[in-house]
């Protein structure tokens, strides 16, 4: 077992900063999983910073700008203690509908200008397109962000949900510090083709969905506004099979004296020192539970036992709907 004082930072690639080994993802604080209480959200962000968390992730389309404004309020007196990671480019309508992606150079700079204003900061530490815009060469998008680095508005460039070819092309234009991608016990596809390229190029992973959006922790959907209503793994016809996986994970976790959430997070931490899990804690209680995963160590045999208990190919349903799976560059 480790102790808090012995927690080692993790490097965001060969050219990026060192960060606390867990990052805080703030998407759930802006209604993506149902209603959230703003005072508790602010308290959770502050508790994360007090615990040592240095990387905080958001997106300009989370809550149509609400998430950035919330984060700006939370970080008013703590800006220099954290690194802010922002995703941009996702287009949404007033009704919340997804309309596609825009990563043209002019759109890059316009989105950045609005993010700086909502966050109330002079620069963003890591700026990344939320997805690959199929109509814009990745070289143009990365080149535009590189211009913003030269101008002092951005410090580093990241990527999100892109595949090997796009990663290589982007890295030729400017150093990339990390790829943000879904990775968990039951979402392990990046291991085969994407992770080897990242290792070769010296690019880290910021892994989101380490709890499979609450599936592995047994978190129920929270009303009609919950984004999980659109995800096949949470559809009624897949629930029976997936609940079996959750039960199996719970048994293994209990044998180790852990909650399923802690086991799932600790498993991701154990897979590689180049991976920083992004935990989507919406409350201080969830944050405390997640941070305890840093005190967990596994033997090689224990990792094998966990993976045997929750085989990646046994989950029912894909992580996104059929259309999204077809257009995701990371799935090609």
- Whole-number Å distance between alpha carbons of 260 and 245: 11
Let me know: does 287 contact 42? Beta carbons within 8 Å.
no
Beta strands 154-160; 124-129: pairing state:
parallel
Phi, psi of 141 (to 5 degrees): -65, -50
The two tokens of residue 31 are: 């209604």
Residue 125 and residue 115 in contact, taking contact as beta carbons nearer than 8 Å? no
Burial class (CB in 10 A: 0-12, 13-18, 19+), 183: buried
The Cα–Cα gap between 129 and 102 comes to: 9
Which residues have a catalytic role annotated?
A: 62
Q: Distance from first CA to last CA of the chain, Å, rounded?
A: 39
DSSP, res 219 = P
Beta bridge partners of 325: none
């Amino acid at each position: 077992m480790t102790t808090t004082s012995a927690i080692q930072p993790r490097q965001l690639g060969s050219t990026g900063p060192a960060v606390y080994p867990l990052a805080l993802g703030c998407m759930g604080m802006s209604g993506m999983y149902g209603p959230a209480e703003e005072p508790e959200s602010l308290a959770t962000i502050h508790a994360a910073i007090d615990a040592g968390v240095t990387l905080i992730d958001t997106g300009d389309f989370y809550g149509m700008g609400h998430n950035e404004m919330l984060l700006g309020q939370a970080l008013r007196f703590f800006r220099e203690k954290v690194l802010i990671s922002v995703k941009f480019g996702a287009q949404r309508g007033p009704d919340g509908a997804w309309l596609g992606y825009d990563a043209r150079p002019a759109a890059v700079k316009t989105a950045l200008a609005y993010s700086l204003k909502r966050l109330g900061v002079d620069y963003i530490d890591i700026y990344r397109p939320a997805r690959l815009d199929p109509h814009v060469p990745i070289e143009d998008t990365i080149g535009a962000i590189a211009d913003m680095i030269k101008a002092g508005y951005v410090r580093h460039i990241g990527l999100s949900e892109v595949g090997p070819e796009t990663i290589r092309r982007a890295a030729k234009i400017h150093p990339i510090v990390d790829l943000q991608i879904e990775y968990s016990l039951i979402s392990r596809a990046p291991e085969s083709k994407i992770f080897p390229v990242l290792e070769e190029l010296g690019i880290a992973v910021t892994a989101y969905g380490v709890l499979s959006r609450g599936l592995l922790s047994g978190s129920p959907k929270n009303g009609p506004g919950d984004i999980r209503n659109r995800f096949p793994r949470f559809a009624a016809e897949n629930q029976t099979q997936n609940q079996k996986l959750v039960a199996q994970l719970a048994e293994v976790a209990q044998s180790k004296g852990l909650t399923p959430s802690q086991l799932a997070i600790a498993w991701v931490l154990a897979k590689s020192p180049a991976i920083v899990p992004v935990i989507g804690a919406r409350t201080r209680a969830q944050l405390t539970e997640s941070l305890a995963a840093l005190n967990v160590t596994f033997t090689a045999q224990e990792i094998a036992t966990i993976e045997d208990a929750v085989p990646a190919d046994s989950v029912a349903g894909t992580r996104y709907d059929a259309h999204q799976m077809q257009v995701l560059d990371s799935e090609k």
